[in-house]
Structure 1
Amino acid sequence: MESMSFMKKITKRREFSSIIFLLALFGIAGVVNPAFWKLDNIMLCLNGSTVYTICAIGMAFVIFTGEIDASIGGTLGLSAAVAATMIRNGNSSMMALLVAILIGIVIGTVNGFGVAVLGVPSIIMTIGVNGIVRGFSYVYTGGAWVENIPRNFKEISQMGMFGLSWFYIGTIIIMILIHFCVTKKRCGRYFQAVGDNEDGAVHIGLPVTATKMISFIICAVCASLASVIFVSRIGFVTPMSGNGYEMKAIAACVIGGISLSGGIGNMIGATFGALIMASISRILVFVGLSSNYDNTITGILLITIVVIDAVIQKHNIEKSRRERLAARTAEVIEYKVEGGNKVCDRN
């Protein structure tokens, strides 16, 4: 009985569907082309999801609060261009990382101030900031590629153990720590509390404005951290680097069970969602289709999951209303029952 109740509890978790979906994708790809199931290929899928995973973790903070950040693609592109240029010119990778983080802090602060303080809708604010950041990126690079990255820096992404890169291992460790903080620590639960009921959060004294600002800063910093790994993995930066990563990150969160309305989901689901997003193009190649369908499939998945989530939420709201109505009706009936003992027994 205990094992059955445990399994029932697991299957009810929102991220469970993303795990099943991932296994189904890998299973179908392996049936069509058994070479997909080779250990080396699975490791490549995991390592290839590192950048998406970090971006999804950052995006999760923003979505938890009921907002959206459409600027992480531009943030990643600009941070990658600056970091790559610094590393190419002989600066240390640590210095490049710190500068990239500083870029993320500035962009995240602008986004957070516009949304949390000025009240600008997050989608409008972040799309505008994304355009500005893209413009800076073009000006900074002169529209040219940043190439000739030192080999020793590119080789960092190949280092690791058991087939997993140190970047991916570190990302998973960070994800686990963040998941613990968000679910177990009081300050971590602020993000979901704000997204679940912002007015209620204000009434009980939670720092709603600060929480939203911090979520945007974390999101932008995650994009900047991902940009340095992007440079190491890819080895060059183009003016279009990071383009579309915002949709990938949002889709990863939604597929991982994080509700766009805010307040629901966790980092584990976002991690599985990021792995799905990173694996789609690879799966397409193994099943004999062009990887050009990647963005199309991502869009279809995003729309499908959002629609399903909206239907489920509507159903839950209606169910709660019916239960409240049934309870009130039963209470009224009890008042009308004759006989004394059955009347208004609220204890």
Structure 2
Amino acid sequence: MEHMKEVKHMQKFKNITEKREFRTFVFLVAIFVVVGLVNSEFLSLGNIHDSLKSSLLYIVLAVGLTFVLLTGNIDISVGGILGLSAAVSGMILRDGGSILLAIVVAIGIGGLVGLINGLGVTKLKISSFIMTLGMLEITRVVQVIYTDGQWVENLPVAFKQLAQINVLGINLLSILVVTGLILVHLYLIKNKKGRYFSAIGDNQEGAILLGIPVQRYVTYSFVISGVCSALAGLIFASQIGFISTTAGLGIEMTVIAAAVLGGVSLSGGVGSVIGAGIGAIIMISINSALVYMKVPAFWNDAISGTLLIVIVVTDALLARKANKQAKKERLRARVLHEEEVSVDYAK
């Protein structure tokens, strides 16, 4: 009996260690340990807390993008939505509007752009890459026109202080984001409708045969990504205190790298928001690590780009390996079935 329990515990531990999210977490720990050996200040609680705070908007973006990636699509427009929603809500706040109104308008902008993306992909059958790339450029232009090409500054102190509130020494915004991350993770793995997103990316034709409203849930994924981008825009405005005309520029590449690093497959159907969130923390921690290791800042983009290439290649190799393994298992099952039929026939 004790041996059986021990075997079960070993199997559970093995299942956990084989998950891509676990490997991503080990990679995060390794970064802090290695850099900490070079500069012990990197391992301080203050720096770890600051790394989490700095990665919050990336975590929120990665959560939204994960919904899209799970369905086998991609959203390049997240940086544009972030910039536009931050600029519009910032101008509302600057001109005396309430924080609640700014939040509602920002979410409305994100949801609307996400809906346009989703309808373009599902109804007009436009490639998600092309559709969202076009929306990225459109949102950038709209932001410049709306702000007259000016930075949005002089935001209310009360709004900027929202990002600085601490509860028992822990940043309140960090608590809210991590709590939201866990709830979304539970929805995607425990809720029947939450599992639709992965099912669509894993086998769209099979999902249709099962009665899953594929077009509706693909559209939902883009709306969720848009809303998360808008929320990230609000976090950006609160943390930075101003919104430039280039706010969020290039952030989509970092977020995609974070999601894929966290185990979300670019081919769809595989991944979790927990992994994407850890990936986001890694991407920000790498930039912070370079500072502590006194590496020139211009290396940031080169390292991020190299990491993205390595991640995508690794993801492709893992997907190919998984497909081969699945084919072998199907073939083995078919052979065993035929052997059983032959034996029954012989009897």
**5 Å matches for 1:269-308?**
269-308=275-314
> 1:321 aligned to 2:327?
yes
CA RMSD, Structure 1 to Structure 2 (Å): 1.7
Match of 1:204 in 2: 210
Identity across matched positions, percent: 43
> 1:58 aligned to 2:64?
yes
Match of 1:149 among 148, 155, 160: 155
Q: Which segment is superposed worse, 300-309 or 67-76?
A: 300-309
Deviation at 1:211, TM superposition (A): 0.2
Q: Which segment is superposed worse, 226-235 or 325-334?
A: 325-334
**5 Å matches for 1:28-177?**
28-177=34-183
Kindly report structure 1 stretches of 4+ aligned residues shifted beyond 4 Å. 326-336, 343-346
1:214–1:163 CA distance, 2 compared to 1 (3 A): same
Deviation at 1:301, TM superposition (A): 1.6
User: Does the 8 Å CA contact 1:282/1:291 hold for their aligned counterparts?
Assistant: no
Deviation at 1:329, TM superposition (A): 4.8
Match of 2:3 in 1: none
Match of 1:219 among 211, 214, 225: 225
Q: TM-score, normalised by structure 2?
A: 0.94
1:329–1:36 CA distance, 2 compared to 1 (3 A): same
Aligned AA for 2:106?
A
Q: Secondary structure at the match of 2:195?
A: helix
User: Does the 8 Å CA contact 1:40/1:163 hold for their aligned counterparts?
Assistant: no
> 1:262 aligned to 2:304?
no
> 1:247 aligned to 2:253?
yes
1:104–1:154 CA distance, 2 compared to 1 (3 A): same
Match of 1:27 in 2: 33
Aligned AA for 1:178?
V
Residues in 1 aligned to 2:325 and 2:163: alpha-carbon distance in whole angstroms? 50
1:327–1:58 CA distance, 2 compared to 1 (3 A): closer
Residues in 1 aligned to 2:211 and 2:103: alpha-carbon distance in whole angstroms? 36
User: Does the 8 Å CA contact 1:84/1:231 hold for their aligned counterparts?
Assistant: yes
CA deviations over 1:14-58 (Å, ceiling 9, x no partner):
211110110111111101111111111110001111100000000
Q: Secondary structure at the match of 1:223?
A: helix
> 1:231 aligned to 2:237?
yes
Structure 1, gaps ≥5 residues long = 337-341
Structure 2, gaps ≥5 residues long = 1-5
User: Does the 8 Å CA contact 1:46/1:164 hold for their aligned counterparts?
Assistant: no
